[in-house]
Structure formats: structure tokens, C-alpha cells
Amino acid sequence: MGIWTLAKKDMRILLRDPRAVTILFAMPLIFILVLGVSLGEGFGQKPDDRLKVSVLVLDEGPPRYFDRPMILREGMALSAMGSLDSLSSLGTMASTRQLHDAWFPHEPWADRLLKDLGDTASIRVELIRTRAEAEDLVRSGRRAAVLVVGRHFSKRVSRCSFLSHGWREFFRDTTALPMGPDPIQMMLRAAYDESQTAFPMYLGDGLNPFFRDGVKLDVLDVEVLRDPTQQTASAIIDQVAQGSLLRIVMPWMIGRAFEKVADPKFLTLLGNEKQIPGMVRAFLDSPLATDSQKRQLGLGLKNALQNLFPKYNLTAKTWASLTKEAELEGRGPEAIGFREDGAGFLRRGAMRYQLLVPSYLVMFAFFMVLTVGWMFVAERRQGTMRRLRLAPLSSFDILVGKLLPCLALSLMQGVLVLAAGRVLFGMSWGPHPRWILAVVASTSMAAMGLAVLTAAIAKTETQVAIYGTLLVLVLAGLSGALMGDRSQLPEQMQTVSLATPHAWALDAYRQLLTTPVPAVHRVAEACGVLLAFGFGFLVLAWLSLRRSLRTG
């Protein structure tokens, strides 16, 4: 009965100053708020050793006449036209279908670029939605660089070739004519302009995308937006893009060139060479030699060259096929869309709050050391402790009577901070919210045990301030609670910090709040260790208090 009387008296003393109680509850929230809006985007994120490559894809895809859905759609439309008979319509559909079957890769070249990036084990692809967003990410320093795949990327890659010379060599400058522009020349130029989609005549214009340092990005309509303050990181991303583009474009160009060996046009060129023996030239120029025989000769030359280079598949269109390696079927990029970590000015729902809220909840739970210490010192200064010694109360009763109101206050603080974390900062309580209450209770027990021990040892307000502040800051720094993320400590220090109750509480919260499938047995173990800390501190406090009561 005396314990409850003593506890109620101390609770009234604590609540007599509502401003102090409000500040006690508000301090952890203030720290969480300031750090929550100040910390960088990556704080609290799961570390990933892979390089994140941010990509903005604006590619419009292959030419429309090689788009299978478009071919079928327009082929059906032609069939429905009354001006065309059924045979011509079917012939149109057959020719366009054959054209599509010969086309490679039947998908936008940007998709193959993303697949190549994603198939690289050390790279993770992040897709950006708009150019404005990409520029903002680079300008703000949140990304070192963003790879921008332009609208004409598929068209440009399709035109890469060792063969073609370029259509501009066949047309003169239309603006230089004395009578003004030539309309025929203008029409031809328009037909060969890649910006139009009516006729894919621009594919006849071969592009050379290579130079001394690798691939000319601008030739392929590719750009790297760079943050000038992160030159090393942006250079790495640039080289990653160079490697992927090289693996995409080079096999495509080699395969297209090698296929020409069996082409009758190549045999015609071969027959025009002066070094060709007369017998071979006579066969190539003979009207008796059929196209089938010439095609067989071309295939023989092609097969001979292939046998000369057995380690490579010269007709391949992909890097894996060129090098005779197995394609990584079904993998593709592990592409993630860009998403801000949290929303609004407070970044509500950000991962950082899953760490900041429990870290500062644990840290400020131990700030009760100062409150309990000042209560004990006030009892001694006012002579109340001496009167308590004369009352029918043991040192244990006095200790528990002092402990209960502070323990209740600590539990209230923990529950209110977690509730505020949910409402104000959008934090999640995880799949086991009941276990969170167990961690709050066991942490409060450990904190109050240490608070009572400090109060029993300290004799003056100055000693309480020194002992309490030193304990709170040293233990918070040693455990990682002060920095908000215990995983940032070196591995050796993470082991050493288990000598503090803070570390066990933080590990329990991390299991519950940041792990998709928490290991409940580890949480229970942490709660047991915290209770052991609390009872151990209480025993030491009881021994110290009993000695001090005896000596007066």
C-alpha cells in the first residue's frame, strides 16, 4: 500500500509541471522532424552494391512498316478497300509479312539496350518518366547522370552499316539553285528524312556510329545528362552505356555485312574486279549461269568464310550469338520506375522514418535518467528521504515507488511517439504491432532501471546532470541510436555495442519495422535481454540505495 501511495505522490509531482512533460514528449519528435527533412534520399534504404543506371526512354520504336501490328492492321484495311481486288490485297499482305519476318529485332532497339543493361550482373536499371524529371534529378545532384535514349534511336541503329554510303551524296543542295528550290529534290529529301513515318526510305542512309573512343552517342540519338559535380560517377555511367551500345550495334552491323556475301549484287561486284581469274569471271558473266547457281556460289563463299572463323557466328545479330554464347532468355532488366522516397515536404512514408522514429524513441527513453535523478536529489535536499526512512517502508519499497511513475511516463512517451510517427510521418508498424508494444515496455524497463541506478548514486543536481548527460550521449553514440541508423556502424562496433541496452532495442525495432518477414524469436530474445538489463540495474540501485539509507 505504501508503494502505491509513494508512486501516486511522485506522479503528481511529475504532472505538476505540464510544460516540462510536453517538452519531454516533444523532444524526440523534434529531432525526428529535423532529421527527416534534412537527410538525403538514400538514408535508410537497403544498401545495394550494384550500379544504378537511370534511363529515360523516348524511343519511338522501329519504322512503322516493320511494326507487325501495323502491318496486319493496314493489310486488313487494304483488303477492305473496294479499289483493290482480293489477289492484290493478299499479295500486299504477303509482301509486308515477308518484310516483317526479315526484320530484326521485331521490337524497339531501346528494349534491347535495357535488356543488355539489366543482364549485366552489377547494374540495376531505373526508368525515368519524363525529360523534365531527368533534368531535375541531375540538376539537384540526386543522380550523377541520366542516360537519355532519344526518339530516333531505333531508326538510327537500324541504319548503322558498314555498307551504305549515305543518300546525301546523291542529291545536290536544293537551296543553291538559281531558280529556287527544286520540288523534286525536296520531295526526295523528305522521303529520306527520318522524321517522317510514311516511307522508311531513310534506312538506305548508312550510319557509322564508331570513333576512336567507342560509340558516338549523338549519332545514335543518345545523350547522357551529367551532374558536373559528380564527374567520376557520370563517367562510369557513360562507359556503361558505351559498352552496352557496342554489344548491340557491332553484331548487327557484322551480321548485315556478312549476309551480303551470298547476295547476287556482291557477285556482280566480284566479277568486276580485275584480279578475278578469267574462268571465274566467265562464269559470273555467262548468260548460261542461272541466279540459282550464282546464289549457290555465294553461299559457298559465305560458308567458307564462316568455317575460317569457327569461334564466331558471323551471321548473328546479337553479341551472345556472335560469340556463340547462350542467350540469357527470360531475364532482361530488373527495371524499376523512379519513385521519390516519401511524399511532401516531410517525406511522409519514407524509409528513413522506419529508423529515425525507433532510434530517437530509444535515445530519449534514457533521458528519463535526468528526471528521476533530480527527483531523488530533491527528496534528499528537502529531507523527504530521511522521513521515508522512518516510515514503514523498506529500501525496495522506496525504489519501486519511485520507479513506477517514471516507468508509466516512459511507456506513455513510447506509445505517443510511435503514434505520432504513424500519423505525422507515415511510418509503418510492420506485420507484428503487438511485438512493438513489448519492445517499448522492455526498453522502458531497462531505461528506468538505469535511471534509478544513476539517481541512487548521484548526490547533487550537478552530479545528476553530469552522470545523466554522459550516460545518455555515450550510450546513444556507442549503440548507433544517435546517428539514426545502427547499420552504419562498423561491423566490429556493432558487436561491441551489444553491451548497451540501446543496441538490443534498436535491433528489435529494425526486425519489426524494416524486415518484410521479421524473426520474432530474435525480437523476443532482445526483449529478454532488455528486461535483464533493467532488473540488473534495479538490483544495483537497490544495493546503493540501501547503503545510502543506512549511512544517512
Q: How high is the pLDDT of residue 202? A: 66
Residues 6+ apart with CB under 8 A from 65: 71, 96, 99, 199, 200
Q: Compute the C-alpha angle 411/355/520, nearest 5°.
A: 70
> Distance (Å, rounded) from C-alpha 159 to C-alpha 478?
62
Contact (Cβ atoms closer than 8 angstroms) between residue 100 and residue 66: yes
Q: Can you name the residues that pair with 222 across neighbouring β-strands?
A: 149
Q: Residue 75: its pLDDT value, please?
A: 41
How do 214-215 and 145-149 pair as beta strands? unpaired
β-strand partners of 513: none
Integer Cα distance of 281 and 276 in angstroms: 6
CA distances from 337 to 59, 130, 310, 333, 412 (A): 17, 11, 42, 12, 40
Q: Which cell goes with 188?
A: 526526295
Q: Tell me what pLDDT residue 375 has.
A: 73
- Helix and strand totals (H; E) in the chain: 22, 7
Residues facing 343 on adjacent strands: 348
And the C-alpha cell for 168? 546525301
**d(Cα 407, Cα 404) in Å, to the nearest integer?**
5
Residue 521 · residue 529 · CB < 8 Å:
no
Can you tell me whether residue 81 is helix, strand or coil?
coil
Task: Extract the residue ranges of the chain whose pLDDT is less than 70.
Answer: 1-2, 6, 9-10, 14, 40-50, 63-106, 121, 164-192, 196-204, 326-346, 379-395, 548-552
512 grid coordinates: 519489426
Q: What is the spatial distance between Cα 355 and Cα 485, in angstroms, rounded to a whole number?
A: 6
pTM of the entire predicted model? 0.56
The set of cell numbers assigned to 361 is 524513441
Return the pLDDT at 226: 92
pLDDT given at position 57: 93
CA 35, 37, 41, 46 torsion: positive or negative? Answer: positive
Closest to 352 measured CA to CA, from 437, 426, 420, 413? 426
* Identity of the residue numbered 494: Q
54 forms bridges with which residues in the sheet?
126, 146
Look at residue 395 in the predicted model and tell me its pLDDT: 67
**Angstrom distance (rounded) from CA 513 to CA 430:** 5
Nearest to 200 by CA among 76, 58, 60, 81: 60
Residue the block writes with cell 556478312 = 258
Q: Is 336 in contact with 45 (CB distance < 8 Å)?
A: no
Question: How far is the C-alpha of 307 from the C-alpha of 313, rounded, in Å?
Answer: 10
Q: Which sign, positive or negative, has the C-alpha torsion 446, 447, 448, 454? A: positive
Which one, of 298, 351, 303, 306, lies nearest residue 324 by Cα?
306
For cell 545510502, what's the residue?
548
Residue 77's pLDDT is what?
A: 38
CA distance 334 to 51: 12
Pairing of strands 123-128, 51-57: parallel
Residues with Cβ within 8 Å of residue 398, at least 6 apart in sequence: 6, 388, 545, 549
Per-residue model confidence as pLDDT tens digits over 38-95: 775 556 555 554 578 899 999 988 765 555 444 444 344 333 433 334 444 444 444 4
